Structure 1
Amino acid sequence: MRKGLLLLAVLVCADLGYSQTYGNTRVTPANGVARTPVAAKTASLPIRRVILYSNGVAYIERRGTVSGNAEIDLSFKQSQVDDVLKSMVVLDLGQGRIGAVSYNSSQPASARMSEIPFSVNASTADGGGIASVLSQLQGANVAVSSTRGNHTGSILTLERKQIRTEKENFTSSVLVLVSENGDISHIDLSDVRGVRLLDDEAKRDLLEFASAAASTRRRDAKTITVTSEGSGQREMVVSYTIAAPIWKTTYRVVLDTEGKPFFQGWAIVDNVSEEDWNNVQLSLVSGSPVSFIQNLQQPFYRYRPVVPAPADLQLRPQLHESGITTSNAISGIVTDANGAVIPGATLTLINDSTGQRSTFSSDGSGNFFRSSVGTGTYSLNVSSPGFKDMIVRGVRSGSSLRVELEVGSVSETVTVSAQAIADLPIQGRNALGLVAMQPGAASNYIGPATVETSVSEALVSETSGIRAAATGGQIGDLFEYRIDHPVSVSRDRSALIPIIQTKMDGERVAIYNRSIRPERPMSGVLLKNHTDLTLESGSLTVLDGNAYAGEALMERLKPKEQRLISFALDLGTHVFERQSQDRQPAQMVKVVNGVFEAHYFRTEEKRYVISNQSDKQKVLYIEHPIRAGWELLDDTPKPDITTQRFYRFRVELAPFEETELKVTEKQPLKDSYQLTSFSRDQLSLFLSRNNIDSSVRTRLEKLIELRSQIDQINAKLHSFENETEGISDDQERLRENIEALAKTAEAKQLIARYIAKANEQESRLEEIEKETKAVQAEKNRLERELAAEIRNFEIK
């Protein structure tokens, strides 16, 4: 136990020394006066504002008062760090200067500990923790406080001794130190009260090991440290976005005796963070702004190719001859206050003794040079449109000048002295700037860095170019619910927060949709949003007659919109449907390019027979489906509401009343026929439907007659083909019989008979050929006539 406390003393002493020397090292200011290091004060910024978005993102704003040099440690889960790095904004509202925002390495603790030149086990046998630490710090400079006094020196070794007494035997550890004078001393560890590390590197290694060991206890935690340098008390703001559960809405609708709705809305918010929300300003935003995750905490390295040096590359020292210097010349450069060169500036060199003048200009790079300048002092007048005139006095030959013109009118003149560098005070001057002012020294020194407006100053100033895009509850295209009173939600807790409570315009209704339930409608309410709030989608519970009536889901409802919401089955209303279809006479007949088209309408009539079986007056909305290509006829009542998928017809019913709603629709159709194949049966069908007049009938009958004649000729040609094929088959049989009978002497009479029959068949084939040619010619003539009739037959 004693050695364990001693190990803690080593870590504490190292931490104190580290925080005073390494963690708060300050850069020496430009005026050469070193500041006394001031220890940063750890401050906390409580959460003051939370905005939850419906896309699963939360905006967190921390705000508080800090003083002096402040450090703010913010702890996040590993999964939140990428969002924080991507969105964090840090503001110091009291003229303080924001320093670096740092965070611990994303390496695993085991990997970080492996890079430290020593390690300590979480528990050691025989209380050897301090001995293990000191043995790994060999050569480190330490200050040891013991019961025998204070000792300072470097650790040589840690000696272990076996000590035997009458009562027990044990091992004792002795620390061996060497002082700056070379004195060697040994101190028993049992007498040591504290050890302080004097080497900065050893302190850093020990503290880094302790930090890595601590992070192993909480693998999912990462600390981001925000620093600010300043004086006095001032306000700081840190904001960022992180992933968060979406906020949800749930509503209550209370219907009075007349069916008028009273509306109440609640928001459900979840605080899954590890920090309480105490009296925070809470806002809930509906909408989905673009948000994404980008891996920013992980270091990435870009591949660079390795290019070997040429084997024959040999660089040897070279000697270069010096240039010819012109000691009787004046040179320099003309720039503006930001260091930008001014070409074409007019320079007039005036001899202070004789008054002799010479005028020249700066070149395209702002440089100027004037040779053959005699001894004595000169005045240099520099001017350029849009800038104040500059007079540099005390200029001597051999001077190299840097002239900075100030923006202003030409009537204003600024006079400076070109005294030598030895005559100027050097306190607070930049070394490179002094060298550039030395006569004869030329450089590309531009001067001190321009002080730019920081992002934090621009955000809080009126010159940032940002103007509020919305007032009230509107944030661009999003909608915000701002909770009027502070809200407190403990960590890992959820809360139900009222966001709206008001009377709404609307009425109790019934809604019939056959696809949902035939014959019986649903009880519902027509809700009209007369408020300025956008009601987010959510569940809805209905109370009717001081009792639970049902539940529903409501989609997002914007101001001035109305929505039907159904919550129960209406058993007091019955709906029966009757449906019929009919084909209307052709409204138009067209013949174009040999195609006969008949345009007509198909009508469909649906009758909704509605019966109110209760003793209460009712309002029923019938949802009739909208079908592509169908439209309502004029004898159908105009729908009260038209949606993307339904016509909604409003029907008012008295108690026990039965009524009927007729909905008639028509669909335009078209029948097409090729005139080349138009038949007499199709013509009879059109005549029976009164689709065509007498003139069209006459022309169609002529086409049908021509088509009929062509069909008869085709039948005759087909019979000729069949007869020719039969004769050919018979002649083949006769040839086979003649060849078989020619081998016998008794078959001469039969052979002669076969030959006579073959002669008759040949004569018939010649006749068929002549008739076929004649019939084919007639067919060609009829087809030409039919084609001409079709070509000239047009009705538009």
Structure 2
Amino acid sequence: MPLHHRFRSAGRRPPFAPASSPCTASRRTALPFRTALLATAALLVAPALAGLGAADAAELPLKRVVLSSAGLAQFIHAGTVNGGATVELPVRLDQVDDLLKSLTVFDRAGGIGAVSLPGKTPLAELFRDLPFGPEALASPSALLNALVGTEVEIAGPVNATGRVFRVEPEETALPNGGGTVTRHRLALMTARGLVTAVLEDLTALRFTDPETRVQIERALAGQSQNRAKDRRTLSIGFLGDGNRPVGLGYVVAAPVWKTSYRLVLPKEGGKARLQGWAVVENLTGGDWTDVELVLVSGNPVALKQQLYTAFYTDRIEVPVTTAARVLPRPDDASDATESRPGPRAKAAGTALARRETMPAPQVGQMQRLMAPAMSAPAAAPPPAEADALAGAAQAAEAEEAATQLLYRFPAKVTVATGHTVMVPFVDREVTATRTFLYQPEVSARRPLAALRIRNDGEASLPAGIVTAFDGGADGTANFVGDAQLPLLARGTFKYVTFALDAKTDIRREDLGVRRTTLGKAVDGTLTLTTRSRRTLAYEIVAPADEDREIVVEEARADGWSPAEGSKGVEETPTRLRLAVKAPKGQTTKASLVLERTDRQTVVLTDYAPEEILARIRGLENETPAVKETVLKLGALVGEINRARAERSRLEAERKRIGEDQERLRRNLQSIGANSDLGRRYVDTLKAQEDRLAEIARSEQTLDAEMASKRQAAVEAARQLKL
């Protein structure tokens, strides 16, 4: 939260207070930071420190706000602190991850101590170390019941000292039938025995154990500090002596700043007036008072990570290593066998040996490992480099970097929390030409009034909405329409469309695609080249009293390009534009011719004869040799088709004979082979078997004939020259 963050310097409280201190009741996470972690961080903070006098020693004010169109904001605070001071930075809970990721602390002369903040669930951590839970603070009776056995001293109608036994609710009738009231009776175990008293009637109750009192104070302080559930306080300690300027910066999520342009159209051509405004919202929860405002237009990589969430890694569980059980052997003088450890004892002994021989970290080594986590020496950046950046920032209003565009405002800005402001970042003339843009997908019959804007300035113009005005005869600016300006890099131009032209009529006709296929055949391999030609025709009827220059814009399809010899066609990565001059009162015809070339290579010898014929038939560059091959292949295909038809007929006859033989054999089994009918069945079966043999021979002949025809087709394709 970019608020005015106060810090405490009295008493030089260290970054980590004792656990018993109310202000540090919850566990805190220490974050190591070095001065000037990154050179870029130092350069960002250094301009905010430049020219900084003796700032109010009670706060570290917000000096600079850098808003990005990617939905991020960088806040830089700068001021003067004394050695041993601690700056406290309240932040929203949902921004802690971003702050832990990006916080950079800068101290030229001193050193930076620990940076810490309460855990993500500080109350849960706090009550984990206390003998009671947060529900115990709901009422005095709940607290006493949570601390049963604790010694207390009471005063009032009953004076006693003893240990809490129990607090029980009891219903008491009010006089005159006024109902009942719930009261609580406290039971204490004293030296005199069990003593009871009504809790609501007591004038004082004191816990005699000092440790119990400290625990209750810690719980109450923790509840008070965490009353704002969605806030955390980050503490930054500064080491060293004396006053010196320091700074800190961080990047968190913020509303995207928006771009809004005002465009005054030129009369005939030349220059148009362009004014750009940035719409900025302050939703941080704190006022921006006299801050340097920088707007950044770009698309940086923006990542999130749950740095404020505790993660634990899985560990491999291994069995506990114990020494082998010892079983004493009875003293038997006649047994000379030596006692040897068993396999289990050997394994345990080996494990113990490995554990004992592992090198333990030395004290000096442990200190070196922990030192970077506690603090780091300060390292100031080269003054010349920081001063050069500060001077460049004051000299330039717009600065174009490799991947983003920065706008710095010469005057400081004040924005109250929850407010929206508009600040101008562009106000200059741009080269502009009036024209009309025809986009058939937007309007099939009407072009759009447009302006061709060239950015001849020193910096790019970010994308934004444009409100267009036209100057009237009386000097007023009349609204003519809204438009969208895409990102306009310096030295480039874009079309801005703002109204429909109802005076001009356009008819568009797609005349279709005409294809020409050429072939080249070598050793059975055919290369097909297909040239496609598409023609789009336009008839433009201009107004009776005004000339028109129409820019026809068509979507650019993959593989299509303007036909060879086309003039006046502009190509962009996604569009094709054809400029057409349409005199007033006339009908002007124009056309956009597109071409496309596709190539395909096939191996004719891998295809069936009919497919080979389909591939080479109808080529534009057909030669007499090709025609002869086509005729030959046609004859071969016809013969193969006739043989295939004959084979199909024979296959059908074989199937009919098989079905009839199955019927005859069933009947023969019923009547027997020695009857007259049975003998007739046997003769029929013999004749059918003879026919089946003839069919088999005929099929073999047809198969050989078709194979020969196919081979002849392959040879014809291989010998084809084209």
Q: Which residue of 2 aligns with 1:625?
A: 555
Q: Which residue of 1 aligns with 2:275?
A: 264
For residues 579 and 627 of structure 1, what CA distance do their matches in structure 2 show? 15
Structure 1, unaligned stretches of length 5 or more? 1-15, 28-40, 140-155, 164-188, 315-442
SS in 2 for 1:86: helix
The TM-score with structure 2 as length reference comes to 0.64
Deviation at 1:71, TM superposition (A): 2.9
Q: Any idea what the Cα deviations from partners look like across 1:534-578, whole Å, max 9, x if unmatched?
A: 222221111123211111222222212211121221112211123
Change (3 A) 1:89 1:577: closer
Q: Which residue of 1 aligns with 2:488?
A: 557
Structure with more contact order per residue of length (Cα contacts < 8 Å, sep ≥ 6): 2
Asked if structure 2 preserves the Cα contact closer than 8 Å seen for 1:585 and 1:691, the reply is no
Deviation at 1:267, TM superposition (A): 0.9
Q: Which residue of 2 aligns with 1:571?
A: 502
For residues 117 and 761 of structure 1, what CA distance do their matches in structure 2 show? 109
Q: CA RMSD in A?
A: 5.7
Asked if structure 2 preserves the Cα contact closer than 8 Å seen for 1:608 and 1:662, the reply is yes
For residues 546 and 564 of structure 2, what CA distance do their matches in structure 1 show? 32
Q: Any idea what the Cα deviations from partners look like across 1:658-698, whole Å, max 9, x if unmatched?
A: 32221222344689888864599979974xx8642223323
Asked if structure 2 preserves the Cα contact closer than 8 Å seen for 1:534 and 1:558, the reply is yes
Does residue 643 of structure 1 match 2:564?
Answer: no
Change (3 A) 1:785 1:280: closer
Change (3 A) 1:229 1:202: farther
Deviation at 1:262, TM superposition (A): 1.3
Does residue 281 of structure 1 match 2:292?
Answer: yes
For residues 119 and 661 of structure 2, what CA distance do their matches in structure 1 show? 107
Q: Which amino acid aligns with 2:259?
A: T
Q: Which residue of 2 aligns with 1:604?
A: 534
Q: Any idea what the Cα deviations from partners look like across 1:336-386, whole Å, max 9, x if unmatched?
A: xxxxxxxxxxxxxxxxxxxxxxxxxxxxxxxxxxxxxxxxxxxxxxxxxxx
Q: Which residue of 1 aligns with 2:66?
A: 51
SS in 2 for 1:263: strand
Higher Cα radius of gyration = 1
Does residue 701 of structure 1 match 2:631?
Answer: yes
SS in 2 for 1:697: helix
Q: Any idea what the Cα deviations from partners look like across 1:462-514, whole Å, max 9, x if unmatched?
A: 69999979986244422211112111111111211100011111212211111
Q: Which residue of 2 aligns with 1:394?
A: none
Asked if structure 1 preserves the Cα contact closer than 8 Å seen for 2:112 and 2:237, the reply is yes
Asked if structure 2 preserves the Cα contact closer than 8 Å seen for 1:676 and 1:707, the reply is no
Q: Which residue of 1 aligns with 2:448?
A: 522
Q: Which amino acid aligns with 1:264?
A: Q
Change (3 A) 1:590 1:203: same
Q: Which amino acid aligns with 1:102?
A: S
For residues 664 and 321 of structure 2, what CA distance do their matches in structure 1 show? 103
Asked if structure 2 preserves the Cα contact closer than 8 Å seen for 1:285 and 1:481, the reply is yes
SS in 1 for 2:507: strand
Q: Which residue of 1 aligns with 2:322?
A: 310
Change (3 A) 1:190 1:636: same
How many residue pairs align between the two structures?
Answer: 572
For residues 422 and 97 of structure 2, what CA distance do their matches in structure 1 show? 30
Deviation at 1:244, TM superposition (A): 1.4
Q: Which residue of 1 aligns with 2:99?
A: 84
Deviation at 1:59, TM superposition (A): 1.2
Q: Which amino acid aligns with 1:639?
A: V
Asked if structure 2 preserves the Cα contact closer than 8 Å seen for 1:601 and 1:666, the reply is yes
Change (3 A) 1:276 1:794: same
For residues 12 and 487 of structure 2, what CA distance do their matches in structure 1 show? 59
Q: Which amino acid aligns with 1:660?
A: K
Asked if structure 1 preserves the Cα contact closer than 8 Å seen for 2:107 and 2:380, the reply is no
SS in 1 for 2:631: helix
Asked if structure 1 preserves the Cα contact closer than 8 Å seen for 2:15 and 2:116, the reply is no
Asked if structure 1 preserves the Cα contact closer than 8 Å seen for 2:277 and 2:426, the reply is yes
The TM-score with structure 1 as length reference comes to 0.58
Asked if structure 2 preserves the Cα contact closer than 8 Å seen for 1:717 and 1:775, the reply is no
SS in 1 for 2:540: strand
For residues 229 and 685 of structure 2, what CA distance do their matches in structure 1 show? 114
Structure 2, unaligned stretches of length 5 or more? 1-7, 19-55, 160-201, 327-361, 472-476
Identity across matched positions, percent: 24
Deviation at 1:78, TM superposition (A): 1.8
Change (3 A) 1:600 1:611: same
The within-5 A match list for 1:393-408 is none
Deviation at 1:49, TM superposition (A): 0.9
For residues 228 and 770 of structure 1, what CA distance do their matches in structure 2 show? 104
Q: Which residue of 2 aligns with 1:33?
A: none
Change (3 A) 1:760 1:620: same
Pick one of 198, 217, 220 that aligns with 2:227: 217
Deviation at 1:222, TM superposition (A): 1.9
Deviation at 1:241, TM superposition (A): 1.9
Does residue 507 of structure 1 match 2:503?
Answer: no
For residues 432 and 76 of structure 2, what CA distance do their matches in structure 1 show? 40
Asked if structure 2 preserves the Cα contact closer than 8 Å seen for 1:42 and 1:73, the reply is no
Q: Which amino acid aligns with 1:613?
A: P
Deviation at 1:243, TM superposition (A): 1.9
For residues 115 and 655 of structure 1, what CA distance do their matches in structure 2 show? 90
Change (3 A) 1:24 1:786: closer
For residues 206 and 733 of structure 1, what CA distance do their matches in structure 2 show? 105
Q: Which residue of 1 aligns with 2:466?
A: 540
For residues 214 and 726 of structure 1, what CA distance do their matches in structure 2 show? 100
Q: Which residue of 1 aligns with 2:381?
A: 460
The within-5 A match list for 1:488-503 is 488-503=414-429
Deviation at 1:72, TM superposition (A): 2.2
For residues 283 and 787 of structure 1, what CA distance do their matches in structure 2 show? 78
For residues 117 and 94 of structure 2, what CA distance do their matches in structure 1 show? 14
The within-5 A match list for 1:588-737 is 588-590=519-521, 593=524, 599-613=529-543, 615-640=545-570, 642-668=571-597, 677-678=609-610, 686=618, 691-709=621-639
Q: Which residue of 1 aligns with 2:156?
A: 160
Change (3 A) 1:42 1:226: farther
The within-5 A match list for 1:417-432 is none
Asked if structure 2 preserves the Cα contact closer than 8 Å seen for 1:458 and 1:464, the reply is no
Q: Any idea what the Cα deviations from partners look like across 1:366-418, whole Å, max 9, x if unmatched?
A: xxxxxxxxxxxxxxxxxxxxxxxxxxxxxxxxxxxxxxxxxxxxxxxxxxxxx
Asked if structure 1 preserves the Cα contact closer than 8 Å seen for 2:15 and 2:86, the reply is no
Q: Which amino acid aligns with 1:160?
A: G
Change (3 A) 1:51 1:505: same
SS in 2 for 1:613: coil
Does residue 249 of structure 1 match 2:175?
Answer: no
SS in 2 for 1:457: coil
Deviation at 1:202, TM superposition (A): 8.8
Change (3 A) 1:617 1:699: closer
SS in 2 for 1:460: coil
Q: Which residue of 2 aligns with 1:65?
A: 80
Change (3 A) 1:795 1:275: same
For residues 734 and 57 of structure 1, what CA distance do their matches in structure 2 show? 92
Change (3 A) 1:200 1:560: farther
Does residue 239 of structure 1 match 2:239?
Answer: no
For residues 221 and 256 of structure 2, what CA distance do their matches in structure 1 show? 35
Q: Any idea what the Cα deviations from partners look like across 1:623-677, whole Å, max 9, x if unmatched?
A: 123223433322432413x222221112233333432221222344689888864
For residues 213 and 543 of structure 2, what CA distance do their matches in structure 1 show? 90
Change (3 A) 1:459 1:284: farther
Q: Which amino acid aligns with 2:593?
A: T
For residues 401 and 220 of structure 2, what CA distance do their matches in structure 1 show? 47
Asked if structure 1 preserves the Cα contact closer than 8 Å seen for 2:513 and 2:532, the reply is yes
Change (3 A) 1:312 1:507: same
Change (3 A) 1:241 1:512: same
SS in 1 for 2:304: coil
Q: Any idea what the Cα deviations from partners look like across 1:119-149, whole Å, max 9, x if unmatched?
A: 9999999xx9xxx9xx99x99xxxxxxxxxx
The range that moved more, 221-230 or 267-276, is 221-230
